[in-house]
Structure formats: C-alpha cells, structure tokens
C-alpha cells in the first residue's frame, strides 16, 4: 500500500486521498482541503453527528464533485451531483465501485473499491450492546450485526473505519474485535469515540494479538499515511 493519506476530521468523519481520488466520509465537523483530484463525498445517514447540510456548498468551489447520500437524508434542492443509495446496492462513479451494506442503526455502510484498494466505512453499523438492553434486544442486535458483517466474508479489505464507542462501557470493543477476527482488514481505523482517545489505546491492547494494524488517533485533524 502506498500514497494513501487519511485525515481524521471528527467522530466518523475522514478524508481519504488515494492516488487519483479524494473521498470524504461522514464529515459534519471540520473542512477538508479540496484538491484537483476527483472528489466523492459519502454520508452514511442523516444523524447530525454524521451529516451537515453545509457540505453541499463545497460543490460551488469545485466542479464535478459527487455526493453519495444514504436515502434517509433529505435535501431541499437535490440535483445531478447527488446520488441516493439504500442498503445492498452497487454503483460506479469515475473508475471506482461503491457497494452499500446495511446498518444496525440508520442508513448504510460503504464498501469502496478505488485505485486497487478496498475501503470499508461502517457508518453506524456496530454491535450496539447497551448495558441496560433486554435479552430480546441483545439477541436481535447481535443477529442483525453479524448478518451485515458476514456479507463481507472473503473480501480483502485494506482499510476499515469502524466504531469503537466508549458509551457502550465494557462492550465498547465487541463490534470492532468481531470485525477484526472475522474480516481481517489490513488496517483498522477507530471512529465514533468522541474525545475519548484513551479508548483507542485500550482497544489496541485488546486486539494486539491479531495481525490487523490498528491506527492510533490522538487529535482532530491528524494526518495518517498508509
């Protein structure tokens, strides 16, 4: 892997620059620098910690910008720059392919093939095991989560962006560890941890015996080269 620049924007927001393309995921805070590369803006769902309508203004600064929005997002003035997607769809833009999976919350997750790389951005797909859930809620969540993850079986994923949420208390690592164990991405980038960077250190220790490399994030705006 070479020439991949990842910038952590905030929460689940990331800017990813590959050799020929610039992808921006779930940016609701921060302003990634737009460049000469083809730019695709992907938003997994409408929750305000993932979607900010202000990102639609970016197309006024740059030609041929494309937006891939989950179908639950409502836009006042949709135009040809926006493509709406639901779970289990596949689209092609420029020379990349984008597949959608479902979520265990709202919207979609994204599997993107670009410049001979495969990226996965989970959105709010996670094993949301809350400490006060009922046995039935626990069972339904586990089944729904594993059903989506198993759609990725056999796929080689180079970089995965996945929630590691400290609000789940002792269950913060369940989804991420299961994903690493089953899918074995080369790199795992934690997200949805708020300002609790210590959670990432704890998670890295938890999964240290797996071959997947966990990327440590320590600040907003951090740039990572893979």
pTM of the predicted protein model: 0.97
CA 175/CA 77 separation, integer angstroms = 36
Cα 61 → chain centroid: 25
Predicted confidence (pLDDT) at residue 1 exceeds the cutoff of 60: no
Q: What percent of the chain has pLDDT over 90?
A: 93
Residue 2: the pLDDT is 64
Mean pLDDT of the chain: 96
Predicted confidence (pLDDT) at residue 91 exceeds the cutoff of 60: yes
Residue 63: the pLDDT is 83
Q: What is the DSSP letter of 30?
A: S
The residue ranges of every structural domain in the chain are 5-225
Cα 90 → chain centroid: 17
In CATH, the number for domain 5-225 is 3.60.15.10
Transcribe 52-121 into DSSP letters.
-GGGGGGGGTSTT-EEEEETT---SS--TTEEEE-SS-EEEETTEEEEEE--SSSS-EEEEEETTEEEEE
Q: For the segment 22-72, what is each residue's pLDDT rounded down to a tens digit?
A: 999 999 998 898 988 999 999 999 999 999 999 999 999 888 899 999 999
Q: What is the DSSP letter of 28?
A: S
Predicted confidence (pLDDT) at residue 134 exceeds the cutoff of 90: yes
Q: How confident is the model at residue 74 (pLDDT cuts 50, 70, 90)?
A: very high
Compute the average pLDDT of residues 171-177. 97
Report which secondary-structure segment, H or E, holds 199: helix 198-206
Predicted confidence (pLDDT) at residue 10 exceeds the cutoff of 90: yes
Contact indicator for 27, 19 with CB cutoff of 8 Å? no
Compute the average pLDDT of residues 126-141. 95
Sign of the Cα torsion 123, 52, 89, 116 reads: negative
Report which secondary-structure segment, H or E, holds 186: none
* Count, residues in the chain: 226
Task: For the beta carbon of residue 202, count every other beta carbon within 10 angstroms.
Answer: 13
Which candidate, 70, 10, 16, 69, places its Cα nearest to that of 187?
Answer: 16
Which candidate, 93, 111, 95, places its Cα nearest to that of 40?
Answer: 93
């Amino acid at each position: 892997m070479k020439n991949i620049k990842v910038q952590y924007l905030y929460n689940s927001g990331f800017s990813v620059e590959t050799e020929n393309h610039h992808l921006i995921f779930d940016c609701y805070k921060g302003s990634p620098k737009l460049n000469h590369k083809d730019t695709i803006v992907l938003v997994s769902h409408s929750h305000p910690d993932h979607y900010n309508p202000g990102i639609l203004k970016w197309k006024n600064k740059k030609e041929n910008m494309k937006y891939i929005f989950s179908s639950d997002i409502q836009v006042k003035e949709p135009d040809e720059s926006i493509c709406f997607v639901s779970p289990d769809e596949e689209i092609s833009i420029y020379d990349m392919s984008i597949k959608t999976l479902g979520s265990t919350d709202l919207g979609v997750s994204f599997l993107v093939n670009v410049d001979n790389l495969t990226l996965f951005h989970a959105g709010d797909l996670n094993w949301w095991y809350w400490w006060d859930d009922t046995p039935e809620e626990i069972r339904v969540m586990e089944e729904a989560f594993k059903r989506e993850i198993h759609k990725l079986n056999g796929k080689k994923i180079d970089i995965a962006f996945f929630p590691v949420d400290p609000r789940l208390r002792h269950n913060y690592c369940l989804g991420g560890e299961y994903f690493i164990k089953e899918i074995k991405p080369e790199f795992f980038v934690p997200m949805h941890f708020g300002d609790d960077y210590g959670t990432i250190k704890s998670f890295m220790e938890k999964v240290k015996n797996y071959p997947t490399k966990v990327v440590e994030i320590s600040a907003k705006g951090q740039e990572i080269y893979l």
